[in-house]
Structure 1
Amino acid sequence: MAKHLLKDTKQLYHNFKMKYPSEGEHKMDSLPVLNMNAVEMSNIQIHAGLVKLSSELFIYQKHFDWLKKAAHTFRPMSFDYEFHAIHNRIEKLMKRIDILMIRHNMPRVSDPIVPQFPNSTNPWGVIQCGHTIFHHFHLFLDYATRVLLLMKNKW
């Protein structure tokens, strides 16, 4: 599921970049920080890995919700279907992770606190945030796919 979500996100990001080009890197403090090297990744424990994936997927889902809403205030986006598909896939992956947690007798983690989103009142700010969200989510999904494969080998 994570691989398919990665592919869909890559396509939506490409479409977003084509319609709303932006140069340079942008930052959003509300996004999860991915700071793990290959050694730490190979030593990841199932419980910690699933909790991290679940909570960060929830945060990214809220960011995509914010982006869709913020973008519509300026100009209706032609990506509604793709945004909806990404949202559904995130939801399905979160449910699958919850099932894995139940299967391994792990308590369900409560949803993390929803971060404070930027108060962008101009289209350029929303476009910059969109590029940042897509870029970070793409990196996160690449990480998540690798971690899930490593965990699969530990089961």
Structure 2
Amino acid sequence: SSGPWRALLTLLGLWPGLWPGPGLALAPRPRPPPADTRGDLDSVIHLAKALLGDTKAFLELLKSRFPAEGEHKLDSLPVLAMSALELPNIQASALLPRLGSDLLRYQRLLEWLRRAGGALRGLEPDLGALRSRLERLRGRLEHLVSRLSLPRPAAPPAGAVPVSPPPVSPWGAVRAAHAVTRGLHLYLDWAARGLVLLRNRL
């Protein structure tokens, strides 16, 4: 009478995972495939290139209303992390969090210019629109950083960006606007190149 049971146990022993007896491990679950973040990166690249074009258009508008020859500097502007020659070797872990931190500084600088008033009062809507588009880019960038489990962008150093606009002359506000807009245009051009190179390696 034990013959059929013995045959059944033998059959189950031929199929690993069906009979959790001694020495027989259940088949491990396959790992889920890594999340495809190329679509998120494409979105960030698209927004960065669009903002680059918007910044160029605003810079031309600023020049037409307030011609200012020469180079205008502002100590609180972010510094490019590396040269164009070093970009091909850049890694996502170095590029993306740094972009988030630097773009936050530019966002606060645009808000500072928008509230500066004076000669720039007529450009408040344009500055506000530019700031909103920059904030949208930052949001997509933060989402990508989260998907890749990278460190979150560091906050700008204390005092790097004024909380409220200090009293400046009308010409001082114009010079600051030229410096911020030109710096943002150069930074976005550099960032877009780095993002495209990063995308091509995926």
What is the TM-score with the length of structure 2 in the denominator? Answer: 0.70
Shift of 1:79: 2.4
Paired residues, what number? 153
Residue of 125, 136, 143 corresponding to 2:190: 143
Structure with larger RCO (C-alpha < 8 A, sep 6+): 1
Partner letter of residue 11 of structure 1?
A
Classify 1:76/1:34 alpha carbon distance in 2 versus 1 (closer, same or farther; 3 Å).
Answer: closer
The 5 A counterparts of 1:11-22 are 11-22=57-68
Aligned to 2:111: 65
**C-alpha root-mean-square deviation of aligned residues, in Å?**
1.8
Partner letter of residue 8 of structure 1?
D
Partner letter of residue 108 of structure 1?
R
Aligned to 1:42: 88
1:26-67 deviation line (CA, Å, top 9, x unaligned): 111110112522331111110110011101100001111111
Counterparts of 2:145 and 2:81 in 1: how far apart (Å)?
Answer: 23
- Residues 37-46 or 109-118, more deviating: 109-118
Q: Tell me, which stretches of 5 or more residues in structure 1 are unaligned?
A: none
What is the TM-score with the length of structure 1 in the denominator? Answer: 0.90
Q: Tell me, which stretches of 5 or more residues in structure 2 are unaligned?
A: 1-46
1:152 aligns with 2:189: no
Counterparts of 1:76 and 1:119 in 2: how far apart (Å)?
Answer: 14
Shift of 1:77: 2.4
Partner SS, residue 130 of structure 1: helix
Partner letter of residue 92 of structure 1?
R
- Structure 1 or 2: larger helix share? 1
1:33 aligns with 2:33: no
Aligned to 1:100: 144
1:132 aligns with 2:179: yes
Shift of 1:21: 1.4
Counterparts of 1:145 and 1:151 in 2: how far apart (Å)?
Answer: 10
Partner letter of residue 99 of structure 1?
H
What's the % identity of the aligned pairs?
A: 39
Partner SS, residue 14 of structure 1: helix
Aligned to 1:82: 126
Q: Which runs of 4+ in 1 moved over 6 A?
A: none
- Residues 143-152 or 100-109, more deviating: 100-109
Shift of 1:111: 2.4
Shift of 1:23: 1.3
Partner letter of residue 132 of structure 1?
A
Partner SS, residue 78 of structure 2: coil
Partner SS, residue 79 of structure 1: helix
Kept in 1: contact 2:107–2:134 (CA 8 A): yes
